[in-house]
Structure 1
Amino acid sequence: MLVTMLASGTRGDTQPYIALGLELKKLGVDVRIAASESYRGLVESYGFDYAEIRGDVAKIIESGVVKEADNPFKFFSSLKNDDLMDLMVGAQEDQHKACEGANAIVYHPGSPLGYFVANEMGIPSILASPFPLVPTNEYPAIIFYDKVRLGKLSNKLTHLIFEQGFWKMANTGFKRYWTEKFGQLPKGFTNPYQKQRTKNNPTIVSLSPSVFPVPKDWPEHVHSFGYWFIEDQSDYQPSEELQQFLNTGDAPIYVGFGSVGDKKRAKESTDMVLEALMATGKRAIINAGGGMEERPNTKDVFFVKSVPHEWLFPYMSAVVHHGGAGTTAAALRFGVPQVIIPFGNDQFAWGRRMNELGVGAKAIPRKELTAEKLGAAIRFTQTASVQEKANHLGMKVKAEKGAQKAAELIMDTIKNNQS
């Protein structure tokens, strides 16, 4: 039995599929993961069949082609670029090839080709989303979450706008590829997300119900069991210098802005962070790259590159980051308070939600960041009440076993389709 997973986006988008794939492998399923060539090594290191999606996502983001959107309507135009569109068309061909021979297709919302190919093949498709993509009146859509609240009807409307806008953004490369290959669009070419709410075509969200409770008005076949985490990181071996730094002194602060940091402002960002740390008296691990300069290590500040969050975060007393869904989830998992510095898109939502839950300081948009504000936010995370809330929520998030339950649902879906 073969399941193809179509991952779309950065490492934060790809890693949850690896976690889900590991749980499927435990159930005796062969798993093929289609992902950017940036993550070939990551996918293959876990023993999966890797299918290449052309284009190096990390380099594309670093080039500045993809713009971070600091309001909901900029989000839908953030990927408009002719060179990027050509790459997206080629990626559709790669994803289509990766689906050959599959018994089910699990796909990211950014890869709607998965629904239409599965439909043509007569196999189940599972929409596997790293964020809520199903309308509800209980809270606004993720890119509207940090905006003014106008009630239940408005909440529902923001989801409909987000869903339709995301579909329009995601289908442009697909439409061009499919018409060039087959001369016409696939049968029933309409928004597939709305069709992913049935027994044979369910939606699963990599999200903790302890973070966003499952809405009462979601359809029966939309599921949110918990985050999809890679459980075992025991193979990672840190340098002797890093391990010694962690073992000496108080638990440090982690600072890192993922792949979205503005490299043109790297010196400014690093200066601000170091000034805030000096004012608070806290030690720190700084992730160089993603908008932070690498500088010589000192007795209180250690610079790293590419250390797994799952290994590192248990050592931290707080995590300062950009608000990516994956980084937010990792900090939650290990009960570490957060300071979110959103650059754009859904990052503002995670910043607000962490503060609402009492496990993070009030978010500071990157445009408004100062050393003084960052220092105050770090001090907030070190208070006993915030540390206690973060630890309590972390225990709940850890216990949910979201990837395991999602894998079991996928297996049930395949068996139902075959019976």
Structure 2
Amino acid sequence: MLITLLAAGSRGDTQPYIALGVELQKSGYTVRIAASEAFEDLIKSCGLEFYPLLGNVSKIADNDKLRQAMSADNPLKVIMSFNTMKNYAYSLQQGFYDACQGSDAIVYHPGAVIGYFIAQTLDISSILATPFPMIPTKTYPALIFYNSVRLGKTFNLLTHILFQKIRWLISKAPIKQFWKDKFGSIPRNFIDPFSQLQSENNLTLVACSNYVFPKPQNWSKEVHNTGYWFLDEDDYWSPPDKLSEFLLAGTPPVYVGFGSLGNPAKATQTTELIIDALQLSGQRGILATGWGGMTKLNKTSQDIFIIESVPHAWLFPKMSVVVHHGGAGTTAAALRACVPSILIPHANDQFAWGKKVYELGVGAKPIPRKKLTVEKLSAAISYALKKEVKVAAKTLGAKIQRENGVKVAAKLIIDFLKQK
């Protein structure tokens, strides 16, 4: 049986699907992952089939309009970014469609909801696998509203419904246009798939820890909060000698990296700010430049090590504190590592993860990127290094490690498909 996983977005969005693919493969399934060409080497190194989507997602950092759309830092800006994101989304639909041909089942990211309609056309099963909670509940607000004012349970429920509508509006027009271009009509039963998630015929997987966002009681038995999906990359990656030497040369450093976020035009300024904050707090640091949010400087002190990227699963447990942008995948990796976090949210759901980390007592109060200063970051590092924060981070990390969400998710998929 061939299961195709449709991934969408940056490494933090894609890597959990690779982990799921590896686990399904262990059970004898053939797994194909459709993702940006930026992840071809990683996917193939894990022994999975790779289907390249149009363009390299890392190039978004070079496109001002797309970067600004992805950097929406409040619900209104998310809605206003529709037109820009719809144009980019249209270019992906053909790749998603082609990747699914010959499949026996489709597992899709919320950003690849066309998978639901492709499965209908091929008369096969589809499964939504979301890296963040998006099923309506009164227990807490939708993530893009999580950092806003709290107005009670009914308001919480409404924010989830609105968030689902936003996700569907972003996807609806590109799917409709692609389908018309290819088939001359719209998909049959062209309704909002997100509104069908709790029906008996569907399986929905939420790749989130129950120790972070516990499963609300109102979710149906078809929706599962499995725990995070981690890809242990130790088997696929070896550190450069200079990095190993730096780690052995002193106390555990502070990691700072903003992944796919950050403004390349301000990379030098941001890098200097981070280094000044580390020096003010008396800490060594490892800086990951990512897609250009920071950059290598001509000269730095021996207490600073700058590298493009390092697998989080390998590096984070060796850190004293992890400072990052707050993407869902990076947040999960930091929590699992048993070390405190400091989130510097740039956009979208990152503000929610920042607030949740602080609420859980495993990190400092988040600092929005627009408000980041040397003094604020230095103070946050000192706060994160408090004994009670370190103990809380270690306790939560141990619980998350025991969940083994990717095994749970794979078994749920296998059992679901056997019933079909």
What is the TM-score with the length of structure 2 in the denominator? 0.96
Aligned counterpart in structure 1 of residue 311 of structure 2, from 308, 311, 318: 308
> Which residue of structure 2 aligns with residue 393 of structure 1?
396
The equivalent residue for 1:17 is 17
Q: Percent identity?
A: 48
Provide closer, same or farther for how the CA distance between residues 184 and 92 of structure 1 changes in structure 2, counting only shifts above 3 A.
same
Find the aligned partners of 2:264 and 2:233 in 1 and give their Cα distance: 32
- Is the CA contact (8 Å cut-off) linking 1:65 and 1:79 kept in structure 2? no
| Structure 2 equivalent of residue 6 of structure 1 | 6
Q: 1:293 to 1:79 in 2, by over 3 A?
A: farther
Question: In the TM superposition, what whole-angstrom CA distance separates every residue of 1:370-402 from its partner, at most 9, and x where no partner exists?
Answer: 100000000011111000000000000011010
Equivalent pair of 2:46/2:236 in contact (CA under 8 Å) = no
Q: How many Å apart are 1:87 and its aligned residue?
A: 4.7
For the aligned residue pairs, the C-alpha RMSD in angstroms reads 1.3
User: Which amino acid is the alignment partner of residue 6 of structure 1?
Assistant: L
> 2:28 matched to which residue of 1?
28
> Which structure 2 residues correspond to residues 74-223 of structure 1 after superposition, within 5 A?
74-81=77-84, 85-223=86-224
2:254–2:321 CA contact under 8 A, matched in 1: yes
Task: Please tell me the residue identity of whatever aligns with 1:294.
Answer: K
Question: Which ranges in structure 2 are unaligned for 5 or more consecutive residues?
Answer: none
- The one-letter code sitting in structure 2 at the alignment partner of 1:26 is K
Q: Which amino acid aligns with 1:172?
A: A
- One-letter amino acid of the counterpart of residue 53, structure 1: L
Which range is displaced more, 374-383 or 39-48?
39-48
Structure 1 position 404 matched with structure 2 position 407: yes
Q: In terms of mean alpha carbon deviation, does 85-94 or 400-409 score higher?
A: 85-94
Displacement, 1:409?
A: 0.6
Separation of aligned partners in 1, 2:3 and 2:72: 33
1:336 Cα offset (Å) = 1.3
| Structure 1 stretch displaced more, 176-185 or 135-144 | 176-185
1:320 aligned partner? 323
State the secondary structure of the residue aligned to 1:223: strand
Whole-angstrom distance in 1 between the partners of 2:383 and 2:360: 14
Classify the secondary structure of the residue corresponding to 1:31: strand
- What residue is the counterpart of 1:344 in the other structure? 347
* In structure 1, C-alpha distance between the alignment counterparts of 2:253 and 2:262, rounded to whole Å: 21
Structure 1 residue runs of 5 or longer lacking an equivalent are none
- Once the two structures are superposed, residues 65-90 of structure 1 have per-residue CA deviations (whole angstroms, 9 ceiling, x without a partner) of 22211111211332523xx6555333
CA contact (8 A) 1:333 1:394 kept: yes
The separation in 1 between residues aligned to 2:80 and 2:412, in whole angstroms, is: 35
The alpha-carbon deviation at position 232 of structure 1 amounts to 4.5
Q: What residue identity is the alignment partner of 1:374?
A: L
2:250 aligned counterpart, secondary structure: coil
In structure 2, how many angstroms separate the alpha carbons of the residues matched to 1:382 and 1:158? Answer: 35
The letter for the 1-side match of 2:266 is R
TM-score normalised by the chain length of structure 1: 0.96
> For residue 168 of structure 1, what is the amino acid of its counterpart?
L
The 2-side partners of 1:95 and 1:270 are apart by: 37
1:202 & 1:121 partners in 2: Cα distance?
A: 18
Which whole-Å CA distance do the structure 2 matches of 1:265 and 1:389 have between them?
Answer: 34
3-state secondary structure, aligned to 1:226: coil
Give CA deviations for 1:81-132 in whole Å, capped at 9, x if unaligned. Answer: 3xx6555333211111111121110000111111111122222110000111
Aligned to 2:334, which of 325, 331, 335?
331
1:242 alignment partner in structure 2? 243
The residue that corresponds to 1:58 in the other structure is 58
**CA deviation map 1:291-345 (0-9, x unaligned):** 1121235321111112111111111000111111111100001111111111110
Q: Which residue of 1 aligns with 2:361?
A: 358
Checking the alignment, whether the CA contact within 8 Å between 1:358 and 1:386 is kept in structure 2 is yes
Q: Distance in 2 between matches of 1:409 and 1:151?
A: 33
Alpha-carbon distance between aligned partners in 1 of 2:338 and 2:105, rounded to the nearest angstrom: 35
CA contact (8 A) 1:260 1:291 kept: yes
Could you tell which deviates more after superposition, 141-150 or 190-199? Answer: 190-199
Q: Please give the per-residue CA displacement for 1:252-298, whole angstroms capped at 9, x wherever unaligned.
A: 00011111111122222112111111111100001124311212353
For 1:188 and 1:73, locate their aligned partners in 2 and report how far apart those are by CA, in whole Å.
30
Contact 1:36 1:52 in 2 (8 A): yes
Change (3 A) 1:283 1:193: same
